């Protein structure tokens, strides 16, 4: 590779991935790199990707983006977690929140005290844990506010992320990046030229004859993976046997009458349906497996499941869950959908863009041979993808549902050993066998394991250190403090009106 004297970075693609990449590089390495982004309005973007996880707050902080200005520009709302309806069984419901549940005592996690309190019951309700969830209570009442701590206790406050309009988000980041020196070129890439000796990409040729040369290329061309996949021939690992959904239909609908601060994911007979509340409209989509239902039936399911009037026809999207065999090959890195796709159940794709960009900036070659950086980048991205994959499989596999061929398949499929180990450990003793650098915290694994219906057989023996009366008083006090805190929060709607109301715009836009 010829990275020596890397001066010119070319980003191909102007969706969420392209513009996050451009914004972050301009902010952090703009002093030493010339950055050009090529995109095609004629091809357009995937147009979905509107729910996030709290790590996006860190990205905004690095970019120096003001939260209120950002939500105003993107018609955004706040998100306390994802409500999973009908997953473990039809009728079940739980919120995978971004925060803790209850409060740990000493070294013992709260769910062990909860489990101890239910120990004599023949069939404890796993969803009982959520009585001690500040996020659940705030979500139920559609309240939101900034809360670092609950009262004067050690209980952590509200952790949150955002929902936003994908098109407006890309435009917002484009304005940010262009203001910091990124050059945007409109054009369709028709071919990619490589150096005969090294195999590195040297130029891309646009329709109309223009050529764009660069030292390093970032492929943000979406599912097509024009550079990393097509030009460099990097293969794809298909994970459909574990995550069989391969299609989606997306449709906007009118805004919800009550602006709830959470995403909803409702399980359907061959997949699931999302609902994302924005200020001016609601985002909806049905993610499904073409092996278990038809496109027509999937569209009917989507439209029947809407809470508000549709603002257009369902738009189809096809995908294969999995990842590129390498995320970085030669002088090209794929970021966004070009690097792989983990279906949107836990809103992880925008986070993966952010995480890949920051990793790439940390490992960006100065010159000479980049093999060590490339190896490290590929190793860490691969581990991250596999960890998220296991967390997603958990939702499908740990179910009592057998009411359709899809759910029977998911319930009885073989899963990766890494997940089997975690399931067994939690079922036996409520322990989380999480990897140290796993994106999802213990609190997330606990909530999804319980939410899907696993009640651990045992609990941490250290939870027996307090007496029965002390335990009862502890649990009752926590509930009181949580109720008081929630009652003091403004309505989500009021908070937005006061701080970050979007300009009124066409709802379907």
79 is catalytic: yes
Whole-angstrom distance, CA of residue 261 vs CA of residue 496: 11
Active-site option among 79, 146, 241, 309: 79
* Max intra-chain CA distance, the chain: 79
Quick one: DSSP state of residue 491? B
Least Å from the CB of residue 73 to ligand FAD? 17
- Interactions with ligand FAD, residue window 84-143 (CB under 6 A): none
- Interactions with ligand FAD, residue window 170-209 (CB under 6 A): 188-189
DSSP 46-115: -----B--THHHHHHHHHT--HHHHHHHHT-EEE-EEEEESSSSTT-EEEEESS--S--BTTB-HHHHHH
Q: Cβ distance 109 to 446 under 8 Å?
A: yes
- Interactions with ligand FAD, residue window 343-362 (CB under 6 A): 344, 347, 349-350, 353
54 burial via Cβ count (<10 Å: 0-12, 13-18, 19+): middle
Our CB check for ligand FAD shows the closer of 116 and 163 to be 163
Least Å from the CB of residue 447 to ligand FAD? 19
Our CB check for ligand FAD shows the closer of 2 and 43 to be 43
Least Å from the CB of residue 139 to ligand FAD? 17
Contact characters 265-304, ligand FAD, x per CB under 6 A: --------------------x-x-----------------
Least Å from the CB of residue 123 to ligand FAD? 35
Residue 319 engages ligand FAD in binding (rule: CB under 6 A)? yes
Member of 145, 214, 314, 336 binding ligand FAD (CB under 6 A)? 336
The residue whose two tokens read 């000796």 is: 197
Span of 7-15, 109-117, 429-437, 446-454 interacting with ligand FAD by CB under 6 A: 7-15
DSSP 282-320: EEEEEEE-TTTS-HHHHHHHHHHT-SS-B-S--EEEE--
Whole-angstrom distance, CA of residue 402 vs CA of residue 408: 5
- Interactions with ligand FAD, residue window 18-77 (CB under 6 A): 18, 38-40, 43-46, 48-52
Member of 109, 201, 231, 248 binding ligand FAD (CB under 6 A)? 248
Q: Residues with Cβ < 8 Å from 361, sequence gap 6 or more?
A: 24, 25, 28, 29
Contact characters 208-247, ligand FAD, x per CB under 6 A: ------------xxx-x-x---------------------
Our CB check for ligand FAD shows the closer of 101 and 338 to be 338
Whole-angstrom distance, CA of residue 51 vs CA of residue 274: 10
Span of 78-86, 334-342, 356-364, 451-459 interacting with ligand FAD by CB under 6 A: 334-342
Least Å from the CB of residue 53 to ligand FAD? 8
Distances (CA, A) of 291 to 243, 245, 319, 409: 12, 8, 13, 11
Quick one: DSSP state of residue 261? S
Q: How many residues does the chain have?
A: 509
Q: Residues with Cβ < 8 Å from 473, sequence gap 6 or more?
A: none
The residue whose two tokens read 């090209």 is: 332
Our CB check for ligand FAD shows the closer of 117 and 321 to be 321
With contacts defined by CB under 6 A, how many residues of the chain interact with ligand FAD? 39
Our CB check for ligand FAD shows the closer of 89 and 224 to be 224
Neighbours of 503 (CB within 10 A): 9
The token pair that represents 232 in the structure block: 């460099």
Span of 337-345, 394-402, 413-421, 487-495 interacting with ligand FAD by CB under 6 A: 337-345
Least Å from the CB of residue 329 to ligand FAD? 17
Which residues form the interface with ligand FAD (CB under 6 A)?
Answer: 13-18, 38-40, 43-46, 48-52, 166, 188-189, 220-222, 224, 226, 248, 285, 287, 317, 319, 336-338, 344, 347, 349-350, 353
Instruction: Catalogue the active-site residues.
Output: 79
């Amino acid at each position: 590779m010829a990275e020596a004297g890397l001066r010119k970075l070319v980003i191909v693609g102007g969706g969420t991935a392209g513009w996050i990449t451009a914004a972050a590089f301009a902010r952090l390495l703009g002093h030493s790199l010339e950055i050009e982004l090529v995109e095609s309005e004629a091809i357009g973007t995937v147009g979905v990707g509107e729910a996030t996880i709290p790590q996006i707050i860190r990205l905004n902080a690095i970019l120096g983006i003001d939260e209120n200005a950002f939500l105003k520009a993107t018609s955004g709302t706040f998100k306390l977690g994802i409500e999973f309806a009908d997953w473990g069984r039809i009728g079940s419901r739980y919120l995978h929140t971004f925060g803790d549940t209850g409060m740990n005592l000493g070294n013992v996690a709260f769910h062990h005290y909860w489990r101890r309190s239910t120990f004599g019951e023949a069939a404890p309700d796993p969803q009982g844990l959520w009585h001690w969830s500040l996020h659940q209570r705030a979500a139920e009442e559609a309240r939101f506010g900034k809360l670092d701590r609950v009262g004067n206790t050690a209980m952590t406050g509200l952790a949150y992320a955002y929902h936003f309009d994908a098109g407006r988000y890309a435009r917002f980041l484009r304005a940010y990046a262009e203001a910091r020196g990124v050059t945007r070129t409109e054009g369709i890439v028709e071919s990619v030229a490589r150096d005969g000796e090294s195999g590195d990409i040297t130029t891309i040729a646009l329709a109309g004859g223009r050529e764009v040369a660069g030292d390093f290329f970032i492929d943000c061309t979406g599912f097509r993976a024009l550079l990393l996949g097509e030009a460099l021939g990097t293969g794809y690992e298909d994970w459909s046997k574990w995550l069989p959904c391969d299609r989606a239909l997306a449709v906007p609908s009118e805004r919800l009458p009550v602006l709830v601060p959470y995403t909803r994911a409702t399980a359907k007979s061959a997949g699931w349906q999302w609902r994302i509340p924005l200020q001016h409209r609601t985002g909806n989509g049905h993610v499904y497996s073409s092996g278990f239902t038809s496109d027509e039936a999937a569209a009917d399911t989507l439209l029947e499941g809407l809470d508000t009037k549709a603002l257009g026809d369902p738009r189809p999207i096809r995908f294969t869950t999995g990842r590129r065999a390498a995320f970085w090959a030669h002088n090209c890195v794929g970021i966004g959908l070009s690097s792989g796709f983990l279906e949107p159940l836990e809103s992880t794709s925008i986070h993966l863009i952010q995480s890949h960009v920051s990793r790439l900036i940390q490992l960006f070659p100065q010159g000479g041979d980049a093999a060590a950086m490339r190896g490290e980048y590929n190793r860490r991205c691969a581990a991250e993808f596999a960890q998220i994959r296991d967390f997603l499989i958990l939702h499908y596999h740990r179910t009592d549902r057998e009411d359709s061929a899809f759910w029977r398949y998911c319930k009885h499929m073989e899963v990766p050993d890494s997940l089997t180990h975690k399931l067994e450990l939690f079922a036996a003793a409520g322990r989380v066998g999480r990897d140290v650098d796993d994106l999802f915290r213990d609190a997330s694994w606990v909530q999804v394991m319980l939410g899907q219906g696993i009640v651990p057989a045992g609990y941490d023996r250290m939870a027996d250190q307090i007496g029965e009366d002390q335990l009862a008083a502890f649990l009752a006090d926590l509930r009181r403090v949580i109720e008081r805190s929630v009652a003091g929060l403004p309505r989500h709607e009021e908070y937005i009106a006061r701080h970050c109301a979007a300009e009124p715009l066409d709802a379907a836009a």
